[in-house]
Amino acid sequence: MLEISNLRKTFNAGTAHQVKAISGLNLSMAAGEFATIIGSNGAGKSTLLNLIAGAYQPDGGRINIAERDVTYTPEYIRATQVGRVFQDPLLGTAGAMTVEQNLALALQRGKRRGLGWGVDRQMRSQFRERLNSLGMGLEQRLGTRVNLLSGGQRQALTMLMATLARPNLLLLDEHTAALDPLAAPRITALTEQIVVQQGLTTLMVTHNMAMALAMGNRTLMMHQGEIILDLSGAERAHTSASELVARFTSRNQELLSDRMLFG
């Protein structure tokens, strides 16, 4: 499903502020695989997602999604294949538009938009059904402006929008980190529900090592733009968060913050 070969990205090349963000990274993911990504700040986690989504252009290497080379495909075209949820709930929705208008836009992701993206009766019925599955009462608020929703409701809506047209790949960039302690577990459970029900190939960045081992079926650790650890199967199942920290520090001689354990 996802094949990344020798991917490279440097910011401010040739200047005093040069930063090598991704250094010859290779990654292969099968359809339906759910991998969590951990690593210290500056490890290249978000840059990797931006490259996959098309927000950044790489300096070299190749990105294939569903057997299509998308390395230099524009982000708006790649959006037909890639769904994304950001840390900030405000980024994934249009606050001045209603819930149903946001969902209608999500259905048109990656397509040419004219003036015909309005909501008809059939679409509204579909939206109610999908919103009902979230268990947050949003099916009764189709006409509510999104900026009147709570952070948790807005992020739940963003999750639904990102997967409404079933993408080939779902990218989650610390999507629960900015939520309050009550909303975060609900969005975590919703994430697992949607990913499992739709069998989505998923990459999720997190600073929480316990979550990284509890969710999905594979854990990747990044450092200085490379994947330095790839855990799955029995090895992952028998690895604790504290052991994961120990493995990282033994290789990098760096002390990770408590946030990576419990954040």
Give pLDDT, residue 262: 46
Report whether pLDDT(225) > 70: yes
Give pLDDT, residue 117: 56
Question: 135 and 112 share a domain?
Answer: yes
If 0-12 CB within 10 Å is exposed, 13-18 middle and 19+ buried, where does residue 129 land? Answer: exposed
Residue 97's CB is within 10 A of a number of other CB atoms, namely: 15
Report whether pLDDT(250) > 90: no
Give pLDDT, residue 246: 82
Average pLDDT score over residue span 12-40: 94
Report whether pLDDT(227) > 70: yes
Question: 199 and 226 share a domain?
Answer: yes
Q: What angle do CA 35, 40, 46 make, to 5 degrees?
A: 55
Give pLDDT, residue 220: 96
Domain boundary among 141, 166, 191: 166
* pLDDT tens-digit readout, 52-88: 999 999 999 999 999 999 999 999 999 989 999 999 9
Question: 49 and 105 share a domain?
Answer: no
- Which residues fall within 8 angstroms of residue 137, CB to CB, at 6 or more apart? none
Is 167 within 8 Å of 83 (Cβ atoms)? yes
What is the residue-averaged pLDDT of the chain? 90
* pLDDT tens-digit readout, 149-176: 999 999 999 999 999 989 999 999 999 9
Residue 90 lies in a domain: no
CA distances for 238 relative to 213, 234, 250, 262, angstroms: 10, 6, 18, 19
Is 22 within 8 Å of 225 (Cβ atoms)? yes
Question: 159 and 53 share a domain?
Answer: no
3-state helix, strand, coil in the chain (%, to 5): 40, 25, 40
Give pLDDT, residue 263: 47
Domain boundary among 166, 189, 207: 166
Q: Model-level pTM?
A: 0.90
Give pLDDT, residue 251: 61
Confidence of residue 107 (pLDDT cuts 50, 70, 90): confident
Residue 222 lies in a domain: yes
β pairing state of 218-223 and 34-38: parallel
Collapsing DSSP states into helix, strand and coil, what is residue 20?
Answer: strand
Question: 191 and 145 share a domain?
Answer: no
Write the DSSP symbol of residue 11: E
Report whether pLDDT(116) > 60: no
**CA nearest to 23, candidates 2, 4, 1:** 4
Domain that holds residue 128: 96-166
d(CA 80, CA 76): 8
* pLDDT tens-digit readout, 35-47: 999 988 889 999 9
Average pLDDT score over residue span 108-117: 58
Q: What residues does 68 pair with on adjacent strands?
A: 65
β pairing state of 169-173 and 82-85: parallel
Residue type, 231: L
